Amino acid sequence: MTEKSLTPAILLIDDAPLILDLLEDILEPLEYPVLRSESGSGITKMLDQEKVAVVFCDVSLPDIHGVNVLRMIKQHTPEIQVIMISGQQDFDVARQVLRERALDYLVKPFSQEEVLQAAKLGISSYFQAVHQNESRLEAQRRMADLILLKKVGETASSGNGLQELFDQILDSIVHSTGVDVASLMLLKDDGMLHIAAAHGLTPEIVGSVKVASGEGISGHVLATGEAVLVPNIDQDGRFKRLEGGLRYKNQSLLSVPIYVRDEFVGVINVNNKKSGEPFDLEDQNLLVAIANQVSLAMENFELVNNLRQQALELERTNEDLVRVNRARTRLVCNLSHELKTPLTSIMGYIDLSLTFFNKLSEEEVKDNLLQVHGEGKRLERLITGMLRLFSIESEREVWRWKSFGVPWSIADSFQYFNSKMNERNLVAEINIQDDLPEIYGDQEKFGMAFNSLIDNAVKFNRDGGRVKITATVEELEGLEYVHLQVFNDGQTVPIKAHETIFDSYTQLGDIDTEKPHGVGIGLALVKVVVDRMRGDIFLEEVTDEGTCFGLMLPTENTYNRLLNC
């Protein structure tokens, strides 16, 4: 064994060396590394050491059955494509390996063209599956980067952080100018200056002082937008010294404006120089430089906050993108399974009928055709449902608006699902209030949406369970609605799932651990139709097992009033 290389290999498993030689010669033109093994028991260890894209595996191996090897490969690396080979035509074996997610089933003696075609399809399918996984991982990495950006932005995101910034600014001013008293005042929405941070002032003064334009020295700076240098306030007729002389011990003071992008935002005040000397132009120039630094700090703080808000918006957007990407990945996986399963069955029954045409009885041929017909109808329903959802979502469908009764849609739906309900012994309970008003919408589209709800109620029910329908009149904010409830026993959808369960391609179940029912378009289709009718659909609380969907459907009068709001 060697270390995994960048180019994946094709693995051949057969206990006959001649078959291995033949396959290796046929695959040589593809220019992919070819690995050989005459045993399937060590497949897991081999896959740990080698990068494999396609496996050709014989059904009949001496040490282990080929179907078990297929299972081990798919459990180890689901992306690997497995082509089973056999020495005889055996429909049961063919059906079994296809159920276990084998890509193809070849019967010896096979032609060179058959082997090459299967190998090319396997390589293409392998790289497609790998690309889907890489896309999912890339979306997760983008989310991690945005989370990191959010953490960086949070360093200056709160009011406490801003206050710490102001306190640090004041400490810097006090240290640089050598004063006992300093304050930083900001212009608030009331048009007055308020103290944001201070040194040498009592908490009472800090909390109570408000300065209007033109009032005192700070108000003068606000009114003129210019710095004020007062060498001696007793000799400056523009201002009055405060009584008691508690703040102006040496009669000199200095105030400078703060501008952010040419907009006046505040004032820095200093007085009581520790040296006892008056302030001069050098002090003013120093404080103006500090004010410029304060301006830059405040601007940077604002930019950081804006960046954080943008990061939050990007994070939310990326979460939506990741969710949609994950949902679409699930859709691709589900479509691959949902569409390939009936196609595989159809091709299997057709190949079987053609291969054993002369040996099949008329009844067996008829049974095969019925199976093909049933799988074809299944394909038609899947494709039709998806196309209708896409068409309605894109608003390309014509709506035939009218008032109609809910009981008609209920009756049509139960008649359609009658045979499926009988197969599982499901019991229908229908409770419709007398004199129930008609709802307003497109009857055909609502019937299609209601069928999706009943389809869910049947699929996720337990054998012998109930499908219960209630319809009552309710008034909400003065508007009349029909409150329709669709309940089923069996599987319960948690209330917390209401935010995502109506999204396109969202399903019950985990695609990595179990195969959900359908491709996740049923409830999305219901929501699109109900939203267009200006109604609402939601999950309702249930006491025990089961799930209940509630719908609020407007009457024509309610619809028109909502339309005009």
| 194 found inside a domain | yes
Examine the domain organization and report whether 503 and 415 are in the same domain. yes
180, part of any domain: yes
* 325 burial via Cβ count (<10 Å: 0-12, 13-18, 19+): middle
Residues 147 and 218 in one domain: no
How many structural domains comprise the chain? 3
Task: State whether 195 and 83 are in the same domain.
Answer: no
The one-letter code for the residue type at 12 is: L
Do 5 and 115 sit in the same domain of this protein? yes
Which amino acid, 251? Answer: Q
Quick check: is 351 in a domain?
no
**Same-domain status, 67 and 94:** yes
**Pair (135, 170) in one structural domain:** no
**Per-residue model confidence (pLDDT) at position 23:** 93
Residue among 194, 198, 196, 199 at smallest CA distance from 215: 194
Q: What's the rounded Cα separation, in Å, for the pair 217 and 18?
A: 103
Closest CA to 535 of 470, 445, 440, 401: 440
For residue 149, the model assigns a pLDDT of 33
Give the contacts of 39 (CB within 8 A, at least 6 positions apart): 13, 15, 61, 62, 63, 64
- What CATH number does the domain containing 214 carry? 3.30.450.40
Both 116 and 174 in a single domain?
no
Residue 187: inside a domain: yes
Half-sphere exposure of 450 (CA within 13 A, CB side): 29
Average pLDDT for runs of 10 along the chain of length 565:
66 92 92 91 89 93 90 92 88 87 89 92 92 70 40 39 75 78 92 92 90 91 92 76 50 89 91 84 82 76 78 82 68 64 81 84 86 79 67 73 93 91 94 94 91 90 94 93 94 72 54 42 82 91 89 94 85
Same domain, 458 and 541: yes
- Alpha-carbon gap, residue 311 to 268, rounded angstroms: 33
Q: Is residue 214 part of a domain?
A: yes
Determine the Cα–Cα distance for residues 69 and 75; give it in Å rounded to an integer.
10
71 and 100 in contact (C-beta within 8 Å)?
yes
Q: What's 418's domain CATH number?
A: 3.30.565.10
Last residue of one domain, picked from the residues 247, 267, 286: 286
Does 537 map to a domain? yes
194 and 126, same domain (yes or no): no
Q: Which residue do the tokens 């002090």 mark?
A: 283
252, 269, 286 - which closes a domain: 286
- Look up the CATH number of the domain holding residue 43: 3.40.50.2300
Strand 547-554 versus strand 52-58 pairing type: unpaired
- Domain-terminating residue out of 106, 131, 153: 153
Query: Rounded to whole angstroms, what are the CA distances from 108 to 14, 84, 92, 114, 360?
Result: 12, 11, 16, 11, 22
Report yes or no on 159 lying in a domain: no
Residue 282: per-residue pLDDT: 79
Tokens of 211: 């300065």
Instruction: Return the CA Rg of the chain.
Output: 38
User: 534 and 459 in one domain?
Assistant: yes
In a domain, 46, yes or no: yes
Do residues 70 and 178 share a domain? no
Q: At which residue do the structure tokens 């201002």 appear?
A: 239
pTM: predicted TM-score of the whole model, two decimal places: 0.40
CB 13 within 8 A of CB 55: yes
- Please answer whether residues 80 and 51 qualify as being in contact, where contact means their C-beta atoms are separated by less than 8 angstroms: no
Q: Are 146 and 266 members of one domain?
A: no
Give the H or E element holding residue 551. Answer: strand 547-554
CA distance 416 to 36: 54
pLDDT value at position 391?
66
**What range defines the domain where residue 270 resides?**
165-286
